[in-house]
């Protein structure tokens, strides 16, 4: 899940909520939406390797 921050950057959060905290994990902050999408694809790829 990608969300835009007030600073204009984009943050990537995990798809599922953490059962311990009830929040989504922060998987990184990026300057552009394209960079965030690329990293999300990379994360999904390596989750299955």
Q: Are strands 10-17 and 24-30 parallel, antiparallel or unpaired?
A: antiparallel
User: In whole angstroms, how far apart are CA 40 and each of 20, 33, 47?
Assistant: 23, 10, 11
Looking up tokens 């990537």 gives 12
Note the pLDDT of residue 49.
85
> What is the value of pTM for the model shown?
0.84
Q: How far apart are CA 3 and CA 27, in angstroms?
A: 11
- Supply the pLDDT for residue 7: 97
CA 18 to chain CA centroid, nearest Å: 13
Q: For residues 12 and 16, what is the distance between their CA atoms, to the nearest angstrom?
A: 12
Q: How confident is the model at residue 45, as a pLDDT?
A: 95
pLDDT in tens, 5-49: 999 999 999 999 999 999 999 999 999 999 999 999 999 999 888
């Amino acid at each position: 899940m990608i969300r835009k921050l007030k600073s204009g950057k984009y943050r990537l959060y995990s798809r599922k909520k953490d059962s311990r905290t009830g929040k989504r994990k922060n998987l990184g902050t990026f300057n552009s939406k394209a960079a965030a999408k690329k990293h999300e694809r990379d994360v999904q790829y390596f989750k299955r390797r």
